[in-house]
Amino acid sequence: MDRSSKATVVFRVGTLLVAIALAFGLISYMSNLTVSGYHPSPCYYNFSPYYFCGNVDTVPAGTFTVLDGWNPASPQQMYFFNMSSRPVGAEVYLLKTNQTTFDVWVADKSGLPLANVSLYGPQELVWFSDYVASHGQEVVGQYNVSRANVVVKYFVPDVEPLMFVVTSGNAQSSLNFTYLETNIGVMINPSLGFRVAGYLAASGAVLAVFGVVSRRKGAGRARGVPISSSASP
C-alpha cells in the first residue's frame, strides 16, 4: 500500500469516527432535551412523539421493605424502591409532595450507596448524574430535601439490583411519595453520550486532518515539488 492509499485509509477512518460521533451526539441531545423538558405531571413526556407516559404508581408510605441488617445511627424511617426490574434507560422519578425532610440516594442490594447526588435544573430536580462503577466505595450521596414537590430522578444505567433509599427523621405518616417510571428503554445517559461523542469526534477530526495532510505531502513528493510549496488540494 503506497503513501497516498494509507493517507486515504486514515482519512476515511477519521470521517467514519466523526459520523459515529454525530450519531452519539444526536441521540444524547435528544435524551438531554427530554431531561430538560421535564414537567412534573404524570404525562410529562407528551410533548415528544417518541416518549410516552410511563407507569404512574403512587406508593403509600410505610409499605416498603425495610432492608435487613441496616442499622442507622439515628432512628430513621427508611423506604426502598426496588429498581432491579427496571429496563436500561428507564428513568425513575420520585416525587415528594410534602414538606418533610428526607435524605435519598441510590443503593445496591446491600444498601450501600452507588452514586453522588446533585441538584439538576430549575425544577429542583435531583439528578443522580452518573453511575459509579465502584459499588459501595463511593461517598454517601445524600441530598437533604426539605422542600415540597421535589423530584428525585435516576437514569437506570444497567440491569442490576438497584434501589432508591429514602430516609426520613420524621414520622412516616407525613411522607407521601409518588413513584413514576418512564418506559423510555432506548436512551443513553446524556452525559455519557456527549462524552463518547466528544472523544470520537476529536479523534476522528485529528485522523481526518492527518490523512489530508499526508495525502497532500504524498502528492507533492510524487510531483517532485517541495513539501512546503505543495499547498494545492
Binding site for another protein (CB under 8 A): 1, 5, 12, 15-16, 18-20, 22-24, 26-27, 84-85, 87-89, 157-160, 185-189, 192, 196
Closest to another protein by CB, 60 vs 161, is: 161
User: Is the CB of 12 or the CB of 147 nearer to another protein?
Assistant: 12
20 vs 67 by CB, closer to another protein: 20
* Minimal distance, residue 157 CB to another protein, in Å: 7
Beta strand 125-128 with 150-155 is parallel
Q: Which residues fall within 8 angstroms of residue 85, CB to CB, at 6 or more apart? A: none
SS3 211: helix
Q: Give the H/E segment covering residue 209.
A: helix 190-223
Which letter, b or e, does each residue of 91-114 get, where b requires 16 or more Cβ atoms within 10 Å of its Cβ? bbbbbbeeebebbbbbbeeebebb
Nearer to another protein, 20 or 219 (CB): 20
Given the complex with another protein, which of 113 and 204 has the nearer CB atom? 204
At closest approach, how far in Å is the CB of 181 from another protein? 13
Give the Cα separation of 139 and 33 in Å (integer).
29
Distance, in Å, from the CA atom of 46 to the CA atom of 100, rounded to the nearest integer, reads 30
